[in-house]
Amino acid sequence: MGGNTFAEQKKQLLQQKQEIEALLAKVTHQDDTFDEGFVPPPTHGQDDEAERVVDLEMGVKTRGSLRVTLHEIDEALQRIEEGIYGTCAACGEEIPEARLAISPASRYCIECQRKHDWNE
C-alpha cells in the first residue's frame, strides 16, 4: 500500500475526457444550428421522422450530462494532482480501488454515494 499514483485511473480519465470533448463538440455544434433557426431537412417517410425526433431528444439530454461528466473528470484529474484522489470527499475514507476501476471519476465512497443518492 502507499505510493499509488493512480496512473491507470489517470489514463482512463484522460481518455474519457477526450471522448466526451469530441462528443460535446458535435452536440454543441448541432445546438448552435438550432439557435440560428435550423430547419430540419425533409424526411422520406414517417419512420425517418420518428427517428429524428429521438435523435434530437437524446442530443439535448446528452449535452447536459456530458458537461457534468466532463466536470467530474476534470475534478478527478485535479484530485490526482493534489494527491487526494481516491479519498471520499464526504467522509474521508479511502474509496475502494474496485470502485475507482469502474467509475474513475468517483469522489465518494459507496456508503456516502448511497446515503446521499448522488448520481455517478
66 touches Zn ion (CB under 5 A)? no
Which distant-in-sequence residues (6+ apart) come within 8 Å of 92 by Cβ? none
Taking CB under 5 A as the binding criterion, the range among 62-70, 71-79, 99-107, 109-117 that sits at the site for Zn ion is: 109-117
Q: Does 50 bind Zn ion (CB under 5 A)?
A: no
User: DSSP labels for 43-104?
Assistant: PSSHHHHHHHHHHHHHHHHHHHHHHHHHHHHHHHHHHHHHT-TTB-TTT-PBPPHHHHHH-T
Q: Is 90 in the site for Zn ion (CB under 5 A)?
A: yes
Closest distance of CB 76 from Zn ion, Å: 15
Q: Which of 10, 62, 88, 99 binds Zn ion (CB under 5 A)?
A: 88
Q: Which residues bind Zn ion (CB under 5 A)?
A: 88, 90-91, 93, 109, 112
